Amino acid sequence: MITQAPLGMYDGWNDCIRRARGKYIYIATSDDTMALDCLEKLVAALENHPECDIAHCNLKVIDSSSREFDHGWSTISLFALSSGRLIGLPHVRMAPFDALLLFSGRTIYWSITQLLMRRELFERTGLFESKWGSIGDVNWQMRACLVANTVHVAGTWAGWRVHPDQATGTINYYSPEHERKTQEMIDHAIGSIKPLLPNRAFARLQEKWSREAQSLRRFLRGIEQNPSLRARRLFFFRELLKGEFGAALHLRLRSAGTAYWPEAAKKWAFESGVKNPLAPL
């Protein structure tokens, strides 16, 4: 048995990953749970899909008394909004689609317990970084999903136990601090993966998609923080006149009722050559 204190969560995970010798890595956190067939089905998915390096399953959210409740994963999460009807079906998520979703600054894989990963993926993309605190796994997800496909396994689940005092429960996604961390994580992910990317893809990530994502985050933050309809409209027109990507996307999508980040990520994935980022199985 290897304990992570006094290392801290991410350093503890990294220590165990370095010691691992098997083909796959699964991080089992101390108070979470899973279906009895979860690991079996995740392993089978990766065995059957050598083009994928990550297997992902459905999530059940439970409280400190082990009662299941609706926390929004199946309805309002980025995974749900980007998957649509495929959330209940097995499918492959092609790189770099999920990484581009993560440029929102929000996680797409809500719990590490949902994931089974090939050990060699860590050898290619690096281990977890601890300098961004409790959201540091978003940075690893960015790095991994820029180059790795994910197979979604719909027929099983992992559990995530939510406590009132969890650090991730107090994140202000519209704060300047979170924006700073998000852009730092994006820049780090792109720079770290540069050797694994074609030069053209790296240039687009660094010079176009990262900047457009920053524009969209700024636009959504501005809309959220302007209290009145008049203030929001003035902000929108100023951004539109400046030629900002976020405002232009809002103009295109406002009457369609479509979520912003999935549409932006699909656009960027298409520009990368991925015409269908979600492939049903």
Last residue of a domain, one of 121, 146, 170: 170
Last residue of a domain, one of 129, 144, 170: 170
pLDDT tens per residue across span 10-27:
998 999 999 999 999 999
Last residue of a domain, one of 170, 199, 221: 170
DSSP string across 125-190: H-----TTGGGHHHHHHHHHHHH-EEEEEEEEEEEEE--TT-GGGG--TTSHHHHHHHHHHHHHHH
Q: Is the pLDDT of residue 2 over 80?
A: no
pLDDT tens per residue across span 205-253:
999 999 999 999 999 999 999 889 999 999 999 999 999 999 999 999 9
Asked, for residue 280, whether it belongs to a domain, the answer is no
Check whether residue 151 and residue 75 sit in a common domain.
Answer: yes
Q: Which pLDDT score is estimated for 66?
A: 75
Check whether residue 253 and residue 155 sit in a common domain.
Answer: no
Residue 215 and residue 219: Cα distance in Å, rounded? 6
Query: Which pTM value belongs to this model?
Result: 0.93
Residue 17 and residue 4: Cα distance in Å, rounded? 12
Check whether residue 180 and residue 162 sit in a common domain.
Answer: no
Q: Is the pLDDT of residue 52 over 70?
A: yes
Check whether residue 246 and residue 119 sit in a common domain.
Answer: no
Asked, for residue 279, whether it belongs to a domain, the answer is no
Of residues 23 and 169, more confidence is placed in 23
Query: For residue 217, what are the domain limits?
Result: 176-273
CATH label of the domain that carries residue 34: 3.90.550.10
Residue 128 and residue 136: Cα distance in Å, rounded? 7
Check whether residue 188 and residue 85 sit in a common domain.
Answer: no
Check whether residue 68 and residue 154 sit in a common domain.
Answer: yes
Residue 9 and residue 130: Cα distance in Å, rounded? 8
Q: How many structural domains comprise the chain?
A: 2
